[in-house]
Amino acid sequence: MDETGEPGLPHAVALAWGVAELPQRGPKRELSIERIVDAAIEIADAEGLAAVSMARVAASLGFTTMSLYRYVTSKDDLLQLMGEAASGVPIPPERDDQDWREGLREWAATTLEVFREHPWFGDIPIQGAPSTPNALAIVDWGLRIMKDLPLSPGEKISTILLLSGLVRSFGHIERDLRRAMVKGAEYDEGSRRASAEALRALVTESRFPYLYPIVQAGAYTDDETADAEAPVHDDFAFGLERILDGVQARVEQLGSAAPPPTASRPEPPYPRDKAVKEAVRVRREAEARLREARAREKEAVAKARERAAREAERAAREAERAEREAERAAKRAAAG
């Protein structure tokens, strides 16, 4: 760790770990990084990430923009801290009776819930591999699920990357479809069905021979009225199961027996549970207090080192002065 207390980490990452320098706080300590991040998330949840600015967040808290810069040095840092806070999902305890496919389904459903709770989450620029505590906890959870698989470390990380890509892509698509549906009256239920009917009339078998039966079945526009007997198709579960099939094929190729796949996809553990959200908030506050305590400890250690250095320097000067006095006394004695 260098003199600044940030061991080669980007400033936002150092803030997330609690190893960044203490901000220059006002005497009343009304602000904190946690309050700033919470205010920014509230704005983003209501209006989207584009509405978040240092000035807007400061105004929502009743402070000047410059007050925020004493805590968060840039908007980019703020965005990274928002992503880290949103990633604070409850990690379920390890279960001996859970096979790896079931575990990865739960992992994918939980991470998808982050995108559903915070539609702006996928808009935060990716700046490299996850390196903040909450993000790494999610990675560690995925690795725990795969701990008994005969995959190499690189293959396990690639599996997490593949699942993350599916979650991110589906999260974006879901969000964009929701936005389209609320944009205008043309996306109400009646108009949507009318549009599906018109498309079935326009897509003819002679012009689109392979698309035609899909449209007629209602699968292209997800129109349930086309075939009431057909089961509802879950696009996310389908993609997830195909990824897990591929992983299972690799596991079997390496000689490990894998449990057979199942068709169901579990919901996220404790979805939108108020008690869990409150527990997560309390944990985040406790972690924030711990980070502040560590920062104060580091500051106290640094001041103690400064005092010790000053004491040593003063003692050295006194020793030099005493040595010079002794030399002068010796010279006077020799001359007399």
Percent residues over pLDDT 90 in the chain: 40
Co-location of 50 and 186 in the same domain: no
Whether 95 is in a domain gets the answer no
Same-domain status, 60 and 151: no
Domain containing 18 equals 1-86
Statement to judge: residues 229 and 81 lie in one domain: no
- Predicted local distance difference test score (pLDDT) of residue 183: 62
Q: Identify the domain boundary among 54, 86, 118.
A: 86
Q: Long-range contacts of range 261-269, CB-CB < 8 Å, 24 or more positions apart?
A: 261/101, 262/101, 262/102, 263/237, 265/105, 265/109, 265/234, 265/236, 265/237, 265/240, 266/102, 266/105, 266/106, 266/109, 267/109, 268/106, 268/109, 268/110, 268/112, 268/113, 269/90, 269/92, 269/106, 269/110
The CATH number of whichever domain residue 47 belongs to comes to: 1.10.10.60
Tokens of 114: 């982050």
203-220 pLDDT, tens digit per residue, is: 888 888 888 888 888 777
pLDDT digits (tens, 9 = 90+) for 273-316: 667 667 766 776 776 676 666 667 766 666 777 777 777 777 77
Task: Give the pLDDT confidence score for residue 268 in this predicted structure.
Answer: 52
Residue 93 domain flag: no
Tell me: do 165 and 291 sit in the same domain. no
Picking from 55, 86, 117, the residue at the C-terminal end of a domain is 86
165/51 same-domain check? no
Question: pLDDT grade, residue 109 (50/70/90)?
Answer: very high
| Terminal alpha carbon distance of the chain | 59
The reported pTM is 0.69
User: How many structural domains is the chain composed of?
Assistant: 3
Verify that 259 and 336 share a domain, yes or no: no
